[in-house]
Amino acid sequence: MKRSTVRPRDVPLRLWVVLARAFDAVSRHARTSIARFGLGVTEFGVLEVLYHKGELPVCQVQQRILVESSSTTYVVDKLCDRGLVRRRPSPSDRRVTLLSLTAAGRRIIERVFPRHAEMMRHAVGALSPADQDRAIDLLRALGLGAAERHKAIGELEPLPEP
Amino acid sequence: MKRSTVRPRDVPLRLWVVLARAFDAVSRHARTSIARFGLGVTEFGVLEVLYHKGELPVCQVQQRILVESSSTTYVVDKLCDRGLVRRRPSPSDRRVTLLSLTAAGRRIIERVFPRHAEMMRHAVGALSPADQDRAIDLLRALGLGAAERHKAIGELEPLPEP
DNA sequence: GCTAGATATCTAGAAATCGAGATATTAGAT
DNA sequence: ATCTAATATCTCGATTTCTAGATATCTAGC
Q: Quick one: closest CA in A to B154, which residue?
A: A32
Q: Between the CA atoms of A137, A143, A146 and A147, what dihedral angle is there, to the nearest 10 degrees?
A: -130
For the stretch B19-49, pLDDT in tens is 999 999 999 999 999 998 999 999 999 999 9
Give the pLDDT confidence score for residue B8 in this predicted structure.
59
Give the pLDDT confidence score for residue A159 in this predicted structure.
42
For the stretch A73-91, pLDDT in tens is 999 999 999 999 999 999 9
A153 contacts B6? CB cut-off 8 A: no
- A141: contact with B, CB 8 A cutoff: yes
A20 contacts B122? CB cut-off 8 A: no
Nucleotides of D under 7 A from a protein CB: 7-13, 15-21, 24-27
Whether the Cβ atoms of residue B51 and residue B101 lie closer than 8 Å to each other:
yes
For the stretch B76-112, pLDDT in tens is 999 999 999 999 999 999 999 999 999 999 999 999 9
- The A residues from 99 to 118 touching B (CB cutoff 8 Å) are 111-115, 117
Question: Helical H runs in B124-153?
Answer: 129-152
Cα–Cα–Cα angle for A12, A15, A20, rounded to 5 degrees = 135
**Radius of gyration of chain B from its Cα atoms, rounded to whole angstroms:** 20
pLDDT band at residue B9 using 50, 70 and 90 as cut-offs: confident
Whether the Cβ atoms of residue A85 and residue A79 lie closer than 8 Å to each other:
yes
Give the pLDDT confidence score for residue A154 in this predicted structure.
61
Please, what is the average pLDDT of chain B? 91
Give the pLDDT confidence score for residue B120 in this predicted structure.
95
Instruction: Tell me what percent of the residues of chain A surpass a pLDDT of 70.
Output: 90
What phi, psi does B81 have (nearest 5°)? -55, -40
Whether the Cβ atoms of residue B128 and residue A21 lie closer than 8 Å to each other:
no
- B8: contact with A, CB 8 A cutoff: no
Beta pairing, strands B97-101 & B85-89: antiparallel
pLDDT band at residue B151 using 50, 70 and 90 as cut-offs: confident
Q: How many residue pairs from chains A and B have C-beta atoms closer than 8 A? A: 224
pLDDT band at residue B152 using 50, 70 and 90 as cut-offs: confident
For the stretch A118-152, pLDDT in tens is 999 999 999 999 999 999 999 999 999 999 998 88
